[in-house]
Chains A and B, each alone.
Chain A
């Protein structure tokens, strides 16, 4: 992995150890990277995490099954709806609850809106790290529209608590679907706008092409998931491989990269914007009538057993492993497989041999949220 470490420096001077973070403008939260530099070239990097560890997994052992949904909001706090979705589906799988079709469709719409919102945030911050600050505000402008939609649906703008075990707390408000369609139309125009600013920009190309290349084997070996894995050309998307919610009834493509560099990962996420819009449109077209809540017992108390269920969150494969002892009204043990944490494994091999300026680009390209890494 560290094959690039021997990049020859021009002047032989002392190695400089630089502490990037936990307070640094572009470590996306409280990530700390200890860089050993030769000139500006990274010789070694040590990724230090744990600055916002809140013990969510342990807390879950002392909360009701329903209360845990609130806690999942606070892991990947820029994609709370997908966290809710993953947890609720896992419990439903554990209790073998049938979710009404309408609820599954609305969940899909919410999850895809959330994917667009999360990618907007990623695009904005990633571009900002590389110095294109206008894209940041453009992307946040569109993210704001999604937050408005969520606010109308569930009343919250960041921590939604938008799903329940067995379905949804509420049906969609009247006219909400029209607004979502309008948003899709807006997004159709805005994605080309981002592309115009970045995709063929020479500086952007030079800053991202062949930066942080990772081969398919290495990507699998490091346990990467989501866009970083697909960027290396590995076909893996939980929505296709193990469909959940309504994904088996909807059509969409999984974009794949060829080189596995930062530019490919950028293109993939931009394509995912389009695919998400496509999914939302299909789901709205085929939105069935009916209840949004399945038959759920008053007291949620799964029988003893354990299960693992994964969904494709905006950042990659988000899995929940839950053990129930069948006696208490709370899980015996809960463990989350957070995509950000697994993707962060790839940071060290990615940055070694690159320049300081690339480090921020590479932190951006793997799209981490520290709330999810530390939990």
Chain B
């Protein structure tokens, strides 16, 4: 029961804020809604017993990535919003149609799979002596998924260097 209340409240909030993100005319407001959306998603993770991910979600997404967005919004001080001037090549209706198609497709999959037994996957054997979500996750990351983990770190390094190179002005 408690989970149902939590789920429906959060679902409404997440979807509502998501709609607000893509419809608000002011970019700064969009960013703000995005933060709130991410916070709600983080709470949803807590409901799903993924506390570590919830915290990471807040720390990395809300505390880091979105601040970056806000920073850029402030630097890119627009005199005219892109939506304000009509572009002849603008295909908003086609875009809406395509989005609707995606939604329909996803809905179809959900309806189709509803009620069917989930493919039985072997639950990961709990490692002896390790308790708590965080430690298990860390254990997995540093054993079975060590190489992807390292690749991800290299990716981040590349991204960092790339961002600096891109943003710097050649003098």
Contacts and interface: CB of A to CB of B under 8 A. Distances in A.
Chains A and B touch each other in the complex, with CB atoms below 8 Å apart? yes
A1 interface: no
Contacts of B171: 8
B167 A11 contact: yes
A8 B169 contact: yes
Interface residues of B, number: 7
Interface range on chain A: under 10, 10 to 19, 20 to 34, or 35 or more?
A: under 10
B75 interface: yes
B62 to A, nearest CB: 24
B contact face: mostly helix, strand, loop, or mixed: loop
A13 interface: yes
A contact face: mostly helix, strand, loop, or mixed: loop
A284 B5 CA distance: 87
A10 B75 CA distance: 12
A13 B77 CA distance: 8
A10 B168 contact: yes
A14 B77 contact: yes
Contacts of A155: none
A44 to B, nearest CB: 19
A305 interface: no
Interface string B50-79: 000000000000000000000000011100
Contacts of A9: 169
A289 interface: no
A368 to B, nearest CB: 34
A189 interface: no
- Interface-central residue, A8, A11, A14, by most chain B CB under 10 Å: A11
A196 interface: no
Interface of B: 75-77, 167-169, 171
Given A10-B169, A13-B76, 11 more contacts: A8-B169, A8-B171, A9-B169, A10-B167, A10-B168, A11-B75, A11-B167, A11-B169, A12-B169, A13-B75, A13-B77
Interface of A: 8-14
